[in-house]
Structure 1
Amino acid sequence: MDRAADWLDRVNRITGATVRWIALVMVILQFGVVLLRYVFGISDIALNESVLYLHATLFMLGAGYTLLVDGHVRVDIFYAKARRGTRAGIDVFGHLVLLIPAMLALLYWSWPSVRNAWAIREGPISVGGIPAVYLLKTLIPAFCVLLIVQSVACLLRELARLRAGRE
């Protein structure tokens, strides 16, 4: 089970290693937007939207990596004080009952919108913006798939932990 989980982890490690550079590009681009606007009086809608696209890409594609490194916000009332086996049980419940079903539902309900956006090559959000909203909408199923992949990897590890605790 650990080898399968490691293989699944690799998907989000590679994605995280790639996507983290978007943060740097986004900061530099936003600095350029501010500089152009307030120093030179130049404003460009497509340039402004590119920051939005990068921000969406960073967070949507980085969510699986964040789960991998346990960086998501957790409401922790009993979890920290619980025994290791209890924590593993809570995590198994969370993945099986909450995370995976929610991502499958989001994937199911968002797919028609994504499919339609690709069919018409949905245009810009604003006049003069980036004519690629279909790419932005594609981040939704990618987000779901990356979180499901990482959730399955975490689930395999927690099940192995529970099984090891019983032996």
Structure 2
Amino acid sequence: MQAIALFITYQNRFQRTLGHGVAWLTLALVLTTAAAVLLRYGFNFSASKLDESLIYIHATLFMLGIAYTYQQNQHVRVDVFYQRLSPRHQTWVNLLGAVLFVLPVMGFILWAGWSYVGASWAIQEKSLDASGLAYVYLLKTLILIMPGLVILQTLGFIAQYSLALLDTSKDTK
């Protein structure tokens, strides 16, 4: 039980640290967007690398921030029935949702994305624009990192929910 609690603690700390770090990309996105707009409309200058960097920052922000958003319970949830349930039943819903929905979907994304990302790495894929960024394969790697982070967060939740249900069942006996 102590090992599980330790896993939950370190996993939550890791996701929180990563989430707070990735949040700074929001500032980078705003500043880069402002620079792109200023250059385009103020100086009639446009650069493919600058435009593509917006896509890279945006994708990185969202793909690396998804697990943190999930951890903070800020994800989209349909609370029509959930909000009326007791805390114990909410824990069961969370546990079953994690096992039956989140893990299979993230597993599928890993499985489906593996060859896609691998092919991109094999050719060191670059931008289609000759003056664009040369790291498309790194951007596509986020397709595998994102589900890995969400799976790690989900395993932390599964452990947390299981401990909560075990503690609750001990109290009711």
Band of TM-score, shorter chain = over 0.9
Give the counterpart of 1:98 among 98, 101, 109.
101
Task: Name the amino acid aligned to 1:136.
Answer: L
1:56 matches 2:59:
yes
**Contiguous gaps of at least 5 residues in structure 1:** none
1:146 matched residue in structure 2: 149
Deviations 1:33-68 (A, max 9, x none): 000011111011110110110000000001111111
Distance in 2 of aligned mates of 1:86 and 1:65: 24
Counterpart amino acid of 2:46? S
Q: What secondary structure is seen at the aligned counterpart in 2 of 1:110?
A: helix
2:123 is aligned with 1:124: no
1 CA distance for matches of 2:116 and 2:45?
34
Which of 108, 111, 128 in structure 2 is aligned with 1:108? 111
Identity fraction in percent: 35
Give the CA deviation at 1:125.
Answer: 4.1
Q: CA RMSD in A?
A: 1.0
Change (3 A) 1:88 1:125: farther
Letter in 2 for 1:74: R
Distance 1:7 1:54 in 2: 27
Q: Which runs of 4+ in 1 moved over 3 A?
A: none
Match of 2:15 in 1: 12
**Equivalent pair of 1:125/1:133 in contact (CA under 8 Å):** no
CA distance in structure 2 between the aligned counterparts of 1:47 and 1:72, rounded to whole angstroms: 30
In structure 2, distance between residues paired with 1:78 and 1:146: 28
2:141 counterpart letter in structure 1 = T
| AA partner of residue 27 (structure 2) | L
Question: Which is bigger in relative contact order (C-alpha 8 A, separation at least 6)?
Answer: 1
Aligned pair count? 167
